[in-house]
Structure 1
């Protein structure tokens, strides 16, 4: 029997955004909607986040991650979404054609539209340029949670946690549940990346947090024995531990985009899209954290639902298409902007916001300009990885504008 897949819309990725998009399409009357998921079950990252809170806005109650993932799976099944698990997309081709692989071998998949909802991944040790051998006991958050919640294995007892993004709190919760007692948390910057109230949580758990501290070396041959740290004052310190847990520094899981004809944005590291979530090939859309790192499961769900509605509108012929778009340029200090292109005239059927992140602490006026003329501005005080939203309905872009520019003018 052939393992080829044909549908009206194919969603690549069965996390919150992918499932929300698929269900919305079914609610809008799209007959054949399929999700392709490489894991053995849908649900995405929440499958191995064994702690709350998930799902309050989506389903009106609070779930743990695995319970939320199971509810998402039922949600898709209840609405007649076809789900193909254990199936990996290995190639993205023009005009909504895919190359896939499953247990039966290689095959093709085709649709009228395809939605990329492949999520994000954490930066591995190799990309962080930390010296030392490769002993057992070096993990990122996702791998740790998969070990504990999916395999019932405990890889270490006294790890050092690296990073203070919100996911570090998830790491601490996972460690507590498994009886793991971290020796500390380190952060290269002088303040936590996440919001300060969240940063109090490790201290309440008895875990020391060291700011202005850099991980120089992981020591150990067969397994982690200690780490060498460069402290804020320039001194070095060796700390005994049996593991290192890297957290955060997310990047979109955009390998399919990088190896395809689709345009990759150098700011987000995900696909370049317009305000409809539409990629450079208009038969492809994107939703969720593949658009930019990193938002919560709830945000991704709502974003997926909106993209599902947009794709349904597109299939009905009511989404404007033009080969002429306005590009948004980033000035120095702006890490990313999404969407990166705007189709004129503006339509309220697309995404609600222009999403912006800075790459360093910024104080001043954030402005969006066209040919030197201000279209929108706001005084800001912003840290890296903090979300800033510009309502698209507040922007009036002149016709025939080729380029917009977003910049921060620092306070004097």
Structure 2
């Protein structure tokens, strides 16, 4: 028999963004707020990160990931949020209707509004097109942290780490705490992705760094025994190791959005939204790393709180209609833009900024233009996977319906 859950707002995903949205809704007086979480506990990715720093802005102190996740869960409980764990949403239907499954059987969720906050995931070996043998010991950071902090297991002792994003440093910290000694860190680009001085962390621990290097082949019978890496000059080098740790290359966890009626943005890989977080079906909103890969837990929390407040406004009838007046288009060297459209506004509670990522490192102007009219411009160095913000206030002048703003970063060189 199908269980039916009736709620004012259903939130799919119990990470920082989802919980913050729930707290904002309850703080605004929304009575029935339900978090739907497929795992056994809420808290999201921080549950698996057994190191600081989390929670300084939210709770006024530096916490480890599990402590931060616990505080989020307790805050939701105290606020009267209904939390359903072990429940997997399987389909998004028009008009805020959801299909789901739990251990007891099928579940139908009937909501006034839905907030999607399913987060992001790291790309797998298959997505990275890494060739070679298929031994045990090739995992992502998320799997490493789950095995070390939740399962209390060591998946390897001498891995090669691939990537230099912020999460790569989290992987190094996890290895260090668990007594795992990485053999090397390799990066395809000629510079680290993480900001300085954070990129110095592996060096301080004595881990060799190889830039402009890629894995050509994984070797091993049963378990990883070595990797062949291709260096900048085209030469090959073999590194003996017992594991490969794939870090970063995040993609939004958009498996529910992709087959649904909601519009998917091909730049971000997440749902297309307006400045209020509204999807193409105005009964659906989205927040957190589902919107773009990837931001910190703190950023996702603050974004979730903002989206939750806007959903409360929508339920109260004070949010402007979902009528697109301006479409945001990615121009030269722009990887993604969020939000992708602007609705008619006069409402002061929208997102503050257009979020940008560039494809390649460059030095020169980042420009927002409406035809030949330059609305906003900034010169400087732009690097991939770095947060770039354009204030929405610079883009929201009077404009005819159907207008287009192009964002382009047509600088020169490698930055």
Give the whole-Å Cα distance in 2 for the aligned partners of 1:323 and 1:231.
Answer: 51
Superposed CA offset, 1:41-91 (max 9, x none): 000000000000100100111110011111100000000000000000000
Conservation of the 8 A alpha-carbon contact between 1:348 and 1:393: no
Distance 1:380 1:242, change over 3 A: same
Give the whole-Å Cα distance in 1 for the aligned partners of 2:220 and 2:324.
Answer: 57
1:409 shift after superposition: 3.5
Alignment map for 1:1-400 (pairs within 5 Å): 3-345=3-345, 347-400=347-400
Aligned-partner SS, 2:257: helix
Give the whole-Å Cα distance in 1 for the aligned partners of 2:118 and 2:103.
Answer: 20
Give the whole-Å Cα distance in 2 for the aligned partners of 1:387 and 1:100.
Answer: 34
1:367 shift after superposition: 1.2
TM-score, normalization by structure 1 = 0.98
Conservation of the 8 A alpha-carbon contact between 2:325 and 2:399: no
Superposed CA offset, 1:301-336 (max 9, x none): 000000010000000111001434311111120000
1:3 shift after superposition: 2.9
Aligned-partner SS, 2:256: helix
Conservation of the 8 A alpha-carbon contact between 2:14 and 2:36: yes
Give the whole-Å Cα distance in 1 for the aligned partners of 2:326 and 2:230.
Answer: 46
Coordinate RMSD, CA, aligned: 1.2
Mean CA deviation greater in 343-352 or 230-239:
343-352
Mean CA deviation greater in 210-219 or 321-330:
321-330
1:392 shift after superposition: 1.1
1:233 shift after superposition: 1.4
Conservation of the 8 A alpha-carbon contact between 1:344 and 1:399: no
1:345 shift after superposition: 3.7
1:106 shift after superposition: 1.1
Give the whole-Å Cα distance in 2 for the aligned partners of 1:276 and 1:266.
Answer: 20
Aligned-partner SS, 2:190: coil
Conservation of the 8 A alpha-carbon contact between 1:375 and 1:396: no
Conservation of the 8 A alpha-carbon contact between 1:337 and 1:356: yes
Give the whole-Å Cα distance in 2 for the aligned partners of 1:118 and 1:248.
Answer: 17
Aligned-partner SS, 1:110: strand
Unpaired stretches in structure 2, ≥5 consecutive residues: none
Aligned-partner SS, 1:319: coil
Unpaired stretches in structure 1, ≥5 consecutive residues: none
1:196 shift after superposition: 2.4
Aligned-partner SS, 1:255: coil
TM-score, normalization by structure 2 = 0.97
Give the whole-Å Cα distance in 2 for the aligned partners of 1:4 and 1:254.
Answer: 24
Give the whole-Å Cα distance in 2 for the aligned partners of 1:384 and 1:411.
Answer: 14
Give the whole-Å Cα distance in 2 for the aligned partners of 1:391 and 1:200.
Answer: 32
Aligned-partner SS, 2:185: strand
Give the whole-Å Cα distance in 1 for the aligned partners of 2:400 and 2:265.
Answer: 23
How many residue pairs align between the two structures?
Answer: 412
1:362 shift after superposition: 1.8
Conservation of the 8 A alpha-carbon contact between 1:277 and 1:307: yes
Conservation of the 8 A alpha-carbon contact between 1:161 and 1:185: yes
